[in-house]
Amino acid sequence: MAPWALLSPGILVRTRHTVLTWGITLVLFLHDTGEPDPEQPRTHPIPQLRQWEEQGELLLPLTFLLLVLGSLLLYLAVSLMDPGYVNVQPQPQEEIKEEQTAMVSPAIPLRRCRYCLVLQPLRARHCRECRRCVRRYDHHCPWMENCVGERNHPLFVVYLVLQLLVLLWGLYLAWSGLRFFQPWGLWLRSSGLLFATFLLLSLFSLVASLLLASHLYLVASNTTTWEFMSSHRITYLRQRPDNPFDQGLTRNLAHFFCGWPSGSWETLWAEEEEEGSSPAV
């Protein structure tokens, strides 16, 4: 492996996330606002994690640590797994399936990608960053340096839930150790690092909350970020006034998280097309 391969964007992004995650966790675990006096009770707050440690209550700190580890493992899983790439060289079985799909309805606008030269399934899109076509393309996430698509989108939503839980808990832990009724210089020395951590966690919590809310909405309506933002430019959506893939909240959630009911998007699109074009009785 060439030395510069170790500095690829994906490795740098994942290393940055890992270092930042454990750095913030260490601040929450180790930060103290002053040396305790054994003869006098504390007159200032300390982070909740330090209180638990000093009181010998290890269950909650261990739980927090396991949640941080779980969120980091989910992050790595989503960022490293195949998001649903369309094979550049289709296998014989896939060629037969593509021919059958194209015969479902002549109105389905399947086309070849001008970059990959593969026949794109419905809802697929070419990602210029990954240089591949991705099935049920949602977006390319720069924080993960990977696409979010058909295979890793459910895991991405689960990651957002767990990450938001960790961030909000960390936000509470950071706030529990802050005190503001001090001279500026003393406050900066005792609480400056913890306050910077609190601001960083606040920003990340806001971003994670907005991301989770938007993706839950998209999942509930069986659409993607790309389709939601560019519906006026997408042929199979521009031809229809409504979302042809929306089967109701329950079925949308079941299909997204469990893969049920199974079936190709082309078949569902054709069924909706036939129902929409059938005369009213």
Catalytic residues: 141
Cα(185)–Cα(14) distance, integer angstroms: 36
Q: Cα(125)–Cα(224) distance, rounded to whole angstroms?
A: 11
CA distance 272 to 281: 17
Going by C-alpha positions, the residue among 264, 263, 279, 218 that lies closest to residue 243 is 218
Handedness of CA 264, 265, 269, 271 (dihedral sign): positive
- At a CB cut-off of 8 Å and minimum separation 6, what does 145 contact? 9, 10, 13, 14, 79, 129
> 7: which DSSP letter?
G
User: Do the beta carbons of residue 137 and residue 251 sit within 8 Å?
Assistant: no
Instruction: Please state, in angstroms and rounded to a whole number, the distance separating the CA atoms of residues 276 and 209.
Output: 37
CB 118 within 8 A of CB 90: yes
Distances (CA, A) of 223 to 41, 48, 135, 201, 232: 57, 41, 13, 30, 14
Please, which residues bridge with residue 133 across strands?
126
Q: Which two tokens stand for residue 101?
A: 């799909």
Contact assessment for residue 253 and residue 220, using Cβ atoms and an 8 Å cutoff: yes
How many helices (H) and strands (E) the chain has is answered by 10, 4
Both tokens assigned to 132: 């591949």
